[in-house]
């Protein structure tokens, strides 16, 4: 008989259950932190327990600060991992029974001067006597208008998430470079945002060290984002600023639909489409062959801020 999510939590080692509990607490913590920027609009919470998929979804739309946002917790089990969910190095895991848990947030603020932000914390393992396991942690920032202070703060906090659990500068640089490479749109020949951290299939250290790193990413995400949001949320903006925001959002949509592995995994699992596509912005535009005025703030976004660089120096 297929075990329920609660039974599988009990079956797994306590160390896995501890990470599951961390994800649940972090979901509540992120929602509470972001609520401080809202005035009146509250998070809506949905709990959808199914036989093979337990999920808790926090979502908000048309808020004072957030035009649309979601914070999704999920605990998924299956008797056979779909082949599309495995990458080349993990093709041998196809069709194996598995467990996966994760917490993902995507924040689309209303003010064009506040960046879009994303964070994803995950754990995966096969369900066998000698399981294959790995952790993953991602945080990246997508500004529409660039500010040196915001970019430096974001990347300094990303580095702190690593250094506070003993990750050295060279390893951090690898995570930062991987993020720059992942969030790249080949058909546009441009980066989606300013990057951050991309820690994927992380199992190269003892279990507790891997877990501590991903938990550190989760703890530092709001430390990285809230000061930027607080600094920019009251900035006056014009219709032109708003139009540029909607234009740049099309890059977000294109990346998530064409390249994002998380989106493909969720859809391949037959998960609820609304939960998977909650990452999409509520409004977006595709003006034909739009070009910024040379030297403008809009041009500087592409020419300066979307070019990978060392923000720690």
Choose from 40-44, 248-252, 258-262, 278-282 the range with maximum mean pLDDT.
248-252
Residue 104 pLDDT exceeds 50: yes
pTM value? 0.92
Residue 6 burial class via C-beta count within 10 angstroms: exposed 0-12, middle 13-18, buried 19 and up: exposed
Separation of alpha carbons 68 and 56, rounded Å = 17
Token pair for 290: 């739009």
Average pLDDT on 166-177 reads 98
Which pLDDT band, with edges at 50, 70 and 90, does 118 fall under? Answer: very high
Percent of the chain with pLDDT over 70: 91
Which pLDDT band, with edges at 50, 70 and 90, does 5 fall under? Answer: low
> Which tens digits make up the pLDDT trace of 38-81?
988 999 999 987 767 789 999 999 999 999 999 999 998 887 77
Which residues does the annotation mark as catalytic?
118
Going from the N-terminus, what domains does the chain have, and what CATH number goes with each?
A: 5-305 (3.40.1500.10)
For residue 249, the tally of other CB atoms under 10 A from its CB is: 22
Which pLDDT band, with edges at 50, 70 and 90, does 87 fall under? Answer: low
Residue 23 pLDDT exceeds 90: yes
């Amino acid at each position: 008989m297929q075990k329920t999510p609660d039974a599988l939590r009990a079956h797994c080692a306590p160390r896995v259950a501890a990470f599951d509990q961390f994800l649940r607490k972090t979901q509540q913590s992120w929602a509470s932190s972001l609520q401080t920027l809202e005035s009146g609009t509250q998070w809506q919470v949905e709990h959808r327990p199914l036989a093979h998929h337990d999920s808790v979804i926090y979502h908000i739309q048309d808020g004072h600060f957030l035009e649309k946002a979601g914070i999704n917790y999920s605990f998924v089990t299956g008797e056979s991992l779909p082949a599309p969910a495995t990458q080349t190095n993990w093709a041998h895991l196809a069709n194996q029974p598995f467990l996966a848990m994760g917490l993902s947030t995507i924040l689309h603020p209303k003010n064009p001067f506040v960046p879009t932000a994303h964070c994803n914390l995950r754990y995966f393992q096969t369900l066998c006597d000698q399981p294959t396991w790995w952790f993953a942690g991602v945080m990246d920032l997508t500004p529409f208008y660039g500010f040196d202070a915001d970019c430096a703060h974001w990347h300094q906090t990303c580095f702190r998430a690593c250094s506070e659990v003993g990750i050295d500068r060279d390893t951090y640089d690898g995570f930062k470079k991987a993020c720059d490479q992942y969030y790249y749109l080949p058909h546009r020949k441009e980066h989606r945002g300013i990057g951050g951290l991309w820690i994927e299939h992380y199992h190269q250290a003892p279990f507790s060290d891997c877990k501590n790193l991903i938990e550190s990413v989760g703890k530092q995400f709001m430390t990285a984002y809230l000061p930027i949001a607080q600094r920019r949320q009251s900035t006056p903006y014009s219709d032109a600023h708003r139009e540029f925001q909607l234009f740049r959002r099309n890059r977000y949509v294109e990346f998530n639909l064409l390249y994002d592995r998380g989106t493909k995994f969720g859809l391949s699992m037959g998960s609820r489409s609304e939960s998977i596509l909650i990452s999409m912005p509520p409004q977006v535009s595709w003006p034909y062959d739009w070009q910024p005025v040379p030297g403008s703030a809009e041009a500087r976004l592409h020419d300066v801020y979307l070019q990978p660089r060392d923000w720690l120096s």
